Amino acid sequence: MFIRTAFDVLETVEVTDYLRADTHLYALTRCCLSVPIATALERYVAFRNFLAYCKSLVNNMKELTVGKRVKLEDVEVLLNDSVRIHDQSYVEDVINSLVIGGRDKLQIISDFDRTLTKQHVDGKPTLSSFCIFSQCSQLPTGYKEQDAALCRHYRPIEIDPHISREEKAKHMVNWYQEAEKLLSGFDFRIEELEQVIRKEGVELREGSNRMLESLRTADVPVLVFSAGLGDSVSAVLRYHNALLPNVHIISNYLQFNGLQVNGFQGDIIHSFNKNQHAVEKSDYFKVLACRKNVLLLGDELGDAGMADGVQNPDSVLKIGFLYDRVEDRLEEFQNHFDIVLIDDQTMDVVNGILDLIL
């Protein structure tokens, strides 16, 4: 039993991959077998300490030998014309910290609409998760027009760089409350969402599938944090075979009373309360307490606060996708995101950085 436990621990820290410690470990386990249990326990503790020491050596070796310092100019994808980095040395430090931390310390937090999905295809905006819903034929007469009118009124406020976050947040609450009023008292079969997705061809960003697959292979958790409609988010990811076991979604889900829609479940998440919501949902982050390095992806300023629920993070790299009104919004984007990607409809930069880490 002791030997089994010991070697389980040994496998966990992967000492054998890096150090020729097997001779010492064998001697220790032999020693423990030949003494009374109390002494064996005492030596077991010493053995655990020895393993911890080996693990720290492994980390040091990775830093000194395997983890040669990454220079931004050596990362090919960061040389793309679409890439804007305001503080080169800060980003270089963060990337190196993520590389040293490796897959075991990493978690991903990503927005959904126009972050995992494309912002546009040949100039035509990709349907958002709410727009997918509004395309459904089951909705009552007038819903589409009323919903579109809300969007025409509030969307310009959401992206106006001259309006403060606090002011925007008030408008967003009004938008979602008015939208919720439209969402009650009619039957809705959720299966139609997938039919709309198939018909409209809602595309994930090129490389999103590769990113999610490689994160699954590396056992890195992905939080999809969306102020959109969770039912559509799930349906789009499922449709593209991207709703993988390591993917967790926090979003606005429809509340049902039988088949009848009755607003949203729980508190509304809008684009400017994501940070507050992240803190309130900190149970998710508590489970991932050892994952103190974060790669954050978003396409709205409010997305930059999605990692606020992570307690005492070591390194957070924020990547923002910018497409609308680039000249007006670039400066503000650069104040919120470490790397800004202009009209880049791929995950190439993210995958390039993940290739260094995983």
> Of 114-122, 146-154, 215-223, 250-258, which part binds Mg ion (CB under 5 A)?
114-122
Take residue 136 and report the two structure tokens written for it: 């459904």
- Residues 78, 304, 170, 257: is their CA dihedral positive or negative? positive
Q: Tell me the C-alpha distance between 188 and 57, whole Å.
A: 58
Shortest spacing between CB 213 and Mg ion, in angstroms: 22
Q: In 3D, which of 161, 115, 152 has the Cα closest to residue 134?
A: 152
Query: Between 165 and 286, whose beta carbon lies closer to Mg ion?
Result: 165
Contact 69, 96 (CB under 8 A): yes
- Residues 207, 210, 212, 215: is their CA dihedral positive or negative? negative
Phi, psi of 286 (to 5 degrees): -60, -40
Query: Between 101 and 302, whose beta carbon lies closer to Mg ion?
Result: 302
Contact 107, 288 (CB under 8 A): yes
For the question of residue 324 being annotated catalytic, the response is no
Shortest spacing between CB 134 and Mg ion, in angstroms: 17
The H-assigned helical ranges of 88-164 are 88-101, 129-134, 143-159
Shortest spacing between CB 83 and Mg ion, in angstroms: 19
For the question of residue 111 being annotated catalytic, the response is yes
Query: Between 147 and 299, whose beta carbon lies closer to Mg ion?
Result: 299
The H-assigned helical ranges of the chain are 2-13, 15-18, 22-33, 37-61, 88-101, 129-134, 143-159, 165-182, 192-200, 208-217, 230-239, 274-280, 282-287, 326-336, 348-357
Q: Which of 92, 111, 147, 348 binds Mg ion (CB under 5 A)?
A: 111
Contact 158, 274 (CB under 8 A): no
Shortest spacing between CB 110 and Mg ion, in angstroms: 9
Tell me how many residues contact Mg ion (CB under 5 A): 5
340-344 — which CB contacts under 8 Å span 24+ positions?
340/83, 340/84, 340/85, 340/86, 341/82, 341/83, 341/84, 342/82, 342/84, 343/82, 343/119, 344/80, 344/82, 344/83
Shortest spacing between CB 202 and Mg ion, in angstroms: 13
158 binds Mg ion (CB under 5 A): no
> Which 324-353 residues touch Mg ion, going by CB under 5 A?
none
Take residue 319 and report the two structure tokens written for it: 């990547």
**Which is the catalytic residue, given 87, 93, 104, 113?**
113
Query: Between 9 and 173, whose beta carbon lies closer to Mg ion?
Result: 173
Binding letters toward Mg ion, positions 254-293, x by CB under 5 A: ----------------------------------------
Q: Which of 92, 147, 231, 299 binds Mg ion (CB under 5 A)?
A: 299
Query: Between 111 and 338, whose beta carbon lies closer to Mg ion?
Result: 111
Q: Which of 105, 114, 205, 270 binds Mg ion (CB under 5 A)?
A: 114
Query: Between 92 and 113, whose beta carbon lies closer to Mg ion?
Result: 113
Shortest spacing between CB 62 and Mg ion, in angstroms: 35
Query: Between 188 and 225, whose beta carbon lies closer to Mg ion?
Result: 225
Q: Which of 32, 47, 100, 113 binds Mg ion (CB under 5 A)?
A: 113
> Which 91-110 residues touch Mg ion, going by CB under 5 A?
none
> Of 46-54, 97-105, 111-119, 275-283, which part binds Mg ion (CB under 5 A)?
111-119
Catalytically active residues, by annotation:
111, 113
Q: Can you give the binding site for Mg ion, defined by CB under 5 A? A: 111, 113-115, 299
